[in-house]
Amino acid sequence: MLQVVLAMLSMVALLVVLFRTDWYVTAFCIGVLLALQLYALIHFVERTNRDITSFIESIRHSDFTQRFPEKGGNPTFSHLYKSFNEISDSFLKIKAEKQAHYLYLQAIVEHIGIGILSFDADGNVMLLNHVAKELLQQPHLTNIKALDRISTQLLDVLQKVGNNEKALVTLHHNHDQLLLSVHATVLVSQGKSIKIVSLHNIQAELEEQEVQTWQKMIRVLTHEIMNSMTPVISLTSTVASILEDEMAARKVGEPINEEALEDIQDGLKTIERRTTGMLHFVKNYRRLMRLPLPELQEVSINELLRDVHTLMKPDFEKENIQLAVYLAPSDITLQADPEQLEQVLINLIKNANEACRQSTDPRVEVIAYGDENHKFNVRIEVRDNGPGIPDEVLDRLFIPFYTTKKQGSGIGLSLSKQIMRQHGGSIRVNSKAGGPTVFTLQL
């Protein structure tokens, strides 16, 4: 207001001097003074715009160190400068917290024992932890296309692997071979597609698992062979001893002992039966180890269940057990091997039949479910109202040759599990004391 009053007085003085006197030098000086006053007034009015522009520029360039004088200046701008400084302090605090979170996450990423690699749609690397650098033998990596000189297979997998998909890649470093498990997650951040890939060398675990598998297999074979051969050897020795005694008696002219012949005959039959059982075991083992790959074709789940129901119904009617099959509301077709899936269902339904025979109202249900939340295409449950499966048996159900049946081979569930794995699916069991027992196939 003072500047406006002074400018108006200068303007009045200029008019008086110009029209009442001939003091041209004085008029010129007053005119210059008036121009300076008007410039100062405009500069004062535009100061707010300049300060706001300066503040926005500092925000745009993330420069939160700029401070505005809250005291000692024009009191008109004190409140504005105080607000600017408070906003800068808030942004500075957020930036510090963001940096702390970044350092914290970076420390976690560097600490974990799995390689982490993230890159955008153009292949520009955004994150590469030290484990990934060691696996790829790349101290610096700006774009994944540079991995072409290491492994074209790895580069192809990194570019093509989708969200929540997995792949295996073999890398050769000098004389070492790495088997990398690649797992990808794709997300969109600030409008940019980012792929996060974990790289895990499973070569050692695979070799360890292979050794354990061979050890288990050898233990099973040794156990079965010893259980079969020990009594056979003992019985063979007994038969040989009886036969030697009879041959010695024949030499001195004694008649043949009918009881001894019967013992020899019984012993030979027992040996034959035991060796036949051993041969059956070896055939089953060979069958388990040589499961053929599925021959994929279009399979209707509901049609498959109808066929299995037609096939199993006579056996259930003979045992007076109810078999109920509930089809999916909408038919689902899958790429699968119908014969192998049918074999899995037959195994499970037969087991359910045997499990519930002693129940008061024996019942087996086969239920098919359609897609739910896009987690699977189809789920098939085989339920029985039998007495349930004990916990100690539940943990061993899928172990080859383990069985609780007197006449069982112990490979049915093992084969079923292998078949489901080859189809990219799974088999699970849920049971409790008193029943029910539910086997779930998920594809």
CB-CB contact of 397 with 439 (8 Å): no
Model pLDDT for residues 295-334, shown as the tens digit of each residue:
888 989 888 898 888 888 888 888 888 989 998 888 788 8
CA distance 20 to 287: 126
The 3-state DSSP class for residue 388 equals: coil
Predicted local confidence at residue 375, as pLDDT: 47
CB-CB contact of 233 with 218 (8 Å): no
Predicted local confidence at residue 209, as pLDDT: 67
Q: Which helix (H) or strand (E) holds 166?
A: strand 166-173
Of 334, 346, 331, nearest to 296 by C-alpha is: 334
Q: Which helix (H) or strand (E) holds 347?
A: helix 338-355
Predicted local confidence at residue 374, as pLDDT: 45
Top-confidence residue, 87 or 229: 87
Model pLDDT for residues 343-393, shown as the tens digit of each residue:
889 889 988 888 888 888 889 999 998 865 544 578 899 999 888 888 777
Of 332, 290, 246, nearest to 418 by C-alpha is: 290
Helices 258-289 and 412-422: angle between axes, nearest 10 degrees: 10
Would you say residue 219 has pLDDT above 90? no
Mean pLDDT (whole number) for 201-223: 69
Top-confidence residue, 248 or 87: 87
CA distance 35 to 56: 31
Helices 412-422 and 338-355: angle between axes, nearest 10 degrees: 140
Would you say residue 412 has pLDDT above 80? no
Would you say residue 402 has pLDDT above 60? no
Predicted local confidence at residue 53, as pLDDT: 86
Most confidently predicted of 31-40, 219-228, 432-441:
31-40
In this structure, what token pair is assigned to residue 54?
A: 């300066």
Which band of pLDDT confidence, cut at 50, 70 and 90, is reported for residue 196?
A: very high
E runs forming strands in 352-417: 363-369, 379-384
Domains with residue ranges and CATH for the chain: 2-94 (no CATH), 112-201 (3.30.450.20), 206-289 (1.10.287), 297-442 (3.30.565.10)
Mean pLDDT of the chain: 81
In this structure, what token pair is assigned to residue 150?
A: 């290491």
Residues 6 or more apart in contact with residue 171 via CB below 8 angstroms: 135, 150, 151, 154, 177, 178, 179, 180
CA distance 12 to 345: 108
Report angle CA 191, 195, 196 to the nearest 5 degrees: 130
Q: Is the peptide bond before 231 cis (omega within 30 degrees of 0)?
A: no
CB-CB contact of 343 with 291 (8 Å): no
Lowest-pLDDT range of 5-14, 153-162, 229-238:
229-238
Model pLDDT for residues 235-293, shown as the tens digit of each residue:
788 878 878 877 777 777 777 677 777 777 877 887 777 777 677 666 666 665 666 77
Which band of pLDDT confidence, cut at 50, 70 and 90, is reported for residue 430?
A: confident
CA dihedral (220, 222, 225, 231) in degrees, to 10, reads -120
Predicted local confidence at residue 117, as pLDDT: 92
When computed from its CA atoms, the radius of gyration of the chain, rounded to whole angstroms, is 43
E runs forming strands in 59-144: 115-120, 125-128
CA distances from residue 194 to 50, 141, 163, 164, 187 in whole angstroms, order as listed: 40, 16, 11, 13, 5
Mean pLDDT (whole number) for 76-104: 85
